[in-house]
Structure 1
Amino acid sequence: MSLSDLDCRHAKPATSAYRLFDSAGLYLHVMPTGKRVWRLKYRFQGKEKLLTLGAYPGVTLIKAREKRDIAKQTLETGIDPGQQKKDEKALAQFKQAQTVQLVATEWYNRNLPTWSPSYAKNVLSRLQQNIFPFIGQQSVASLTVQQLLVCLQKVEDRNRYDLAHRVLQMMGQIMRYAVITERADRDITSDMKGALKKYVKGHFASIEIEELPKLLKAIERNEARLFKQTILALKLILLTFVRTSELIQATWSEIDLKNKVWSIPAERMKMRKAHIVPLSNQVVLILEELSELFGQQGYILPSAFQKNKPISNNTILKALDRLKYGKLMTGHGFRALAMSTIKEKLDYRHEVVDRQLAHQPKSKVDKAYDRAQFLAERTRMMQDWADYIDSIAVSPKTAQVSELLYVSR
C-alpha cells in the first residue's frame, strides 16, 4: 500500500531507525533523531543499491515520487542513477574550485609559446591589475555578467576605455576556453555587447615629414642631455622604423654588419614570423659606433644602469617627451611617418613598405606579396629612406648636412 502525506507527517522517531515503504522501491527512512529521508532501493547490474532523494518535508511525497521516476528512467538507459549523482556532485565541486584566476592562468600558459614576450607581459599585467584582485577567486562557472561588468567599470573609472574593451575581449577568450574545457557552461561575455562606454579610438601621435627637420635638430642638440644609447636609439628607430620592442630587445647575434642585414627571430615579432631589416650605410655606421661604445656582446642598446639589460620600454617615449615632442610623436609614430613618406616622396609601392613594416597580410593578394618578400627592393628602399632623411636634414641657412645622421658612403 502506498504512503500518504499524512503517514509521512505522523512518522515519529523510534529507538532505532525504520522504513515506511511507498512503491517501486521508494521508502521514507525515519531515524531516531527524527530526521526523515527519502531513499530509493534499486538493482543495477545484479547488485542492490540505494539512492538518497532528499529529506522530508523539504522533498514532499509527490516530489520524491517524481525523483524516483526519473531515476527509473535513467536505469532504463543503462546508467546507474546513484553513480550519476556522485559524478554530478564531483563535477559541481570541481567547477566550484575552478576559479577565474586558475582558468585564466591556465589559458595564459597554453597561449604563452605563441606570443611575443612583450605581448605576454601585457596580457599578464592586465589580468593581475584588472581581473584577479576583484573576481580572481570567483568560480568561473558561476561568474555573472554583473560581476564582470562591475570589474570592467573599475577600469572605465580610470578613463581607460580602450583598456576596458581589451580586457573584455580577453575575458571572452578565457570564458570560451572555460567552456571548451567544461569549466563553464557558456561564454557570458556574449551578453555584454554595448555594455561598455563607447570611445573614439585614437592613433599613435606622429609628426608630418615637414616637421622632421626640427626633430632632427632637437635630437642633434640634445639639450635634454639624453644618454648616448638613447640618442642612437632614436636614430635607429627613425631609420629602421621597427616596433619599439623589436629595437630595444635587439642583440648583436641578430646583426650581420658584413652583409648589412638585421634578422629578427620569429619569437620576437608581433606576428610570430621571422623578419629581415636591410641595413642602410647610415645604420651600419650607427651600429659600429654602438659597438665601439659598448662592445658586441648582448643587447645593442644596453641600459645605462645595468649593462646586461636593454634600455627600458619607455625610453623612446620619455626621450621624445624631454625633447618637447611628447604629445607630437611616439615610437610607433616613426612607422606611420615612414609609411606615408616613402610612398609619397620616394614613390615605393604600398606592398613593399608594408612588408618592411612586418604587417599581417590582410588578403590573398597581400599574402602572395608576403611570400615574395621584395627583399632586393626593400634593401634599395631602406637606403633611399636614409639618404632622404639626410637630404632634409640640410639646414637652409648653412647648407650643411646635419651631423645627426651619417651621410651614405
Structure 2
Amino acid sequence: MTLPRRYGSNTNAAHLSLADARHEAAAIRALARSGVDHQQKVRDELEGHRRQREQQRADAMTVQDLYDAWFPTIATKRGKRGRKDGGAEVARTFSKFVKSKIGGKLLAQLYAVDVRPILTEIADGGANRQATALLVDLKQMFRWGDQNQPWKRLLASSDILAIRAEDIVSGGYDPVRDNERDRVLSEDEIRALAGLLPKADLSLVIRSAIWIMLSIGTRVGETVATRWSQVDLDNKSWYIPAENTKSGVALSVQMSDFAQTHFAALWAWREKLSEDLRGDWVFPSNRDRTAPLNNQTVGKAIADRQRVDGKALPGRTERVDALALDGGQWKCHDLRRTCGTLMQSLGVPESIVHRCLNHARSDKLDRVYLQHDYANEMEDAWRLLGERLAILSSGEAHDSAPAENL
C-alpha cells in the first residue's frame, strides 16, 4: 500500500504524521474490504478534476476563441473549401465590425440579440450588401462551431443560425433580388467613360484594369492577381491559372489588339521604373510595387468617384463624381456583365460568351465528354469586342501619366 504523502512529524501538504498515516491506511483497508480499489479511486478523482478544469476553460471560451479556431479552416484553400484571398476579407470585416463588440463575449451566453444589432447598424448605414455578406460569414463560423467540440456544447442553446437576411436589411432592400445586379454599361456610357477616365485622378494601373476587365470579361480578383510571367505580349496571350479563377478552371485568353494595348502600356510604364521596383505583378500596388494591387482598392477607387451624396470620405479623393454615368452607379463586376452583353450584341453565340467569361460548366457529362476548347471561337469573340471598344473609346489618351492618388 502506498500512501499519497511521506511520513513526517506533523501533517502538512507534503507529509502525514504517523497517527494520520495509520488512520489513512485503515480507511484504505476498509475500502478494499468493500471492493473499492484505492489506486483506481485516486485515478478517477484526478480524472474528474482534470475534466472539471477543462469544463471551466471551455465555459470561459469567447467569440474570439471560436474565431481563432475557425479562421485557419478557411484561410487555406483546400479544393472547393477555403478562401482564395487567404481569408483577408473575413479578417478585415470581423476586425472592423465583430471583434470589438462581441469578441470578448462568452459563447455560452451569446445569442442572436447580441449579433443582430451589429448587422442592422451596417445595413442602416446604407451597406445592406455588406451586412448580408457578414451574416453569411458569421453563420459559416457558428455552423462550423456547431459541428465541432467543445464549441458544439457551448452553442447548444444559441439561436444565431436562425437569423435571416430579411431580419437585418434596411429599407426596401431584397437580399436575393438586390444582390443579383443587372447593371450593364451602354455604348454611350462607354464613350463617356473613355472621356472621364483620363481626368478622374486614377493611376494607370487602375485605368488599365478597368479597360482589361471590360475587354476580356475577367473578374477583378482574377485581373489583379496577374503576373507578367503569365502574359505574352508578342503572342497576345494571357494565361489565368485555375487557382486564380472563381470557377477553379484555368483560362487561356487570346487578347484583342485593344486589350494588348493596355497591357503594353503597363509594361512600358514598368520599364521606366528603377530596377528594384520592377516586380512580376502586372497590376502592382501603389504603396508597394513588389506586391499586387488589392481588388478592394480598385472597387473603392471606382466607388469614391461615384459618391451619390457628394461627400468625399476622409483621406480619399475629392473627385466624388468623376466617374458618374447616366445609367447610375457601376462597379467592377458590371464591367464583366457589360463584356458578355456586348459580345452577345455582336453576334457571339451564348455558349462562347460563357466560355470567354469562364463560367463553370454545370453538366458533368459535358465536362467529361465534350473536350473541344473553342479557342478559335473565343479568340474571334474577344477580337470583335476589342474592335468595338476601340471605336467607342477612341478619344481616350492611353499614354497619360499615372496618377498617384488612388
**TM-score of the superposition, structure 2-length normalised?**
0.68
Contact 1:101 1:136 in 2 (8 A): yes
Instruction: Please give the alpha-carbon distance, in whole angstroms, between the structure 1 residues aligned to 2:392 and 2:382.
Output: 16
Q: Deviations over 1:77-120 (max 9, x none)?
A: xxx98577546524422322432112212211121122455472
Once the two structures are TM-superposed, the CA of residue 163 in structure 1 deviates from its matched residue by: 2.6
Q: 2:234 aligns with which of 253, 258, 261?
A: 258
Deviates more, 1:146-155 or 1:234-243: 146-155
Q: Deviations over 1:124-159 (max 9, x none)?
A: 112112221111122334422322233333333434
- Give secondary structure in 1 for the equivalent of 2:238: strand
Instruction: Give the match for residue 383 of structure 1.
Output: 383
Instruction: Give the match for residue 191 of structure 1.
Output: 162
Given residue 46 of structure 1, which amino acid in structure 2 is its aligned partner?
Answer: D
Deviates more, 1:324-333 or 1:120-129: 324-333
Instruction: Please give the alpha-carbon distance, in whole angstroms, between the structure 2 residues aligned to 1:192 and 1:228.
Output: 44
- Give secondary structure in 1 for the equivalent of 2:185: coil
Once the two structures are TM-superposed, the CA of residue 335 in structure 1 deviates from its matched residue by: 0.8
| Structure of higher RCO (CA pairs closer than 8 Å, 6+ residues apart) | 2
Instruction: Please give the alpha-carbon distance, in whole angstroms, between the structure 1 residues aligned to 2:386 and 2:268.
Output: 22
Instruction: Give the match for residue 65 of structure 1.
Output: none
Larger radius of gyration: 1
Instruction: Give the match for residue 135 of structure 2.
Output: 168
**TM-score of the superposition, structure 1-length normalised?**
0.67
- Give secondary structure in 1 for the equivalent of 2:253: strand
Contact 1:116 1:270 in 2 (8 A): no
Contact 1:161 1:197 in 2 (8 A): yes
Quick check: which one's strand share is greater?
A: 1
Q: 1:302 aligns with which of 284, 293, 301?
A: 284
- Give secondary structure in 1 for the equivalent of 2:239: strand
Instruction: Give the match for residue 120 of structure 1.
Output: 87
Instruction: Give the match for residue 134 of structure 1.
Output: 101
- Give secondary structure in 1 for the equivalent of 2:87: helix
Once the two structures are TM-superposed, the CA of residue 45 in structure 1 deviates from its matched residue by: 6.5
Q: Deviations over 1:321-355 (max 9, x none)?
A: 52333944322111111112211x22223232223
Contact 2:145 2:152 in 1 (8 A): yes
Instruction: Give the match for residue 147 of structure 2.
Output: 180
Contact 2:112 2:160 in 1 (8 A): yes
Instruction: Please give the alpha-carbon distance, in whole angstroms, between the structure 1 residues aligned to 2:303 and 2:370.
Output: 30
Instruction: Please give the alpha-carbon distance, in whole angstroms, between the structure 2 residues aligned to 1:281 and 1:324.
Output: 27
Q: Deviations over 1:332-379 (max 9, x none)?
A: 111111112211x22223232223223344454775699655333212
Contact 2:195 2:396 in 1 (8 A): no
Q: Give the CA RMSD over aligned residues.
A: 3.6
Instruction: Please give the alpha-carbon distance, in whole angstroms, between the structure 2 residues aligned to 1:87 and 1:163.
Output: 44
Deviates more, 1:382-391 or 1:292-301: 292-301
Q: Within the alignment, does 1:268 sit opposite 2:235 as a pair? A: no
Pair 368,278 (structure 1): closer, same or farther in 2 beyond 3 Å: farther
**Counterpart mapping for 1:43-192 below 5 A:** 46-47=37-38, 85-86=48-49, 88-114=51-77, 115-116=82-83, 118=85, 120-182=87-149, 183-185=151-153, 186=156, 188-192=159-163
Instruction: Please give the alpha-carbon distance, in whole angstroms, between the structure 1 residues aligned to 2:98 and 2:202.
Output: 37
Instruction: Give the match for residue 277 of structure 1.
Output: 253
Instruction: Please give the alpha-carbon distance, in whole angstroms, between the structure 2 residues aligned to 1:348 and 1:116.
Output: 33
- Give secondary structure in 1 for the equivalent of 2:332: coil
Instruction: Give the match for residue 62 of structure 1.
Output: none
Contact 1:230 1:319 in 2 (8 A): no
Given residue 175 of structure 1, which amino acid in structure 2 is its aligned partner?
Answer: F
Pair 371,136 (structure 1): closer, same or farther in 2 beyond 3 Å: farther
Instruction: Please give the alpha-carbon distance, in whole angstroms, between the structure 2 residues aligned to 1:230 and 1:151.
Output: 33
Aligned length: 328
Given residue 237 of structure 2, which amino acid in structure 1 is its aligned partner?
Answer: V
Pair 309,119 (structure 1): closer, same or farther in 2 beyond 3 Å: closer
Instruction: Please give the alpha-carbon distance, in whole angstroms, between the structure 1 residues aligned to 2:117 and 2:202.
Output: 43
Instruction: Give the match for residue 288 of structure 1.
Output: 264
Pair 195,374 (structure 1): closer, same or farther in 2 beyond 3 Å: same
Instruction: Give the match for residue 211 of structure 1.
Output: 189
Q: Within the alignment, does 1:356 sit opposite 2:356 as a pair? A: yes
- Give secondary structure in 2 for the equivalent of 1:332: helix
Instruction: Give the match for residue 71 of structure 1.
Output: none
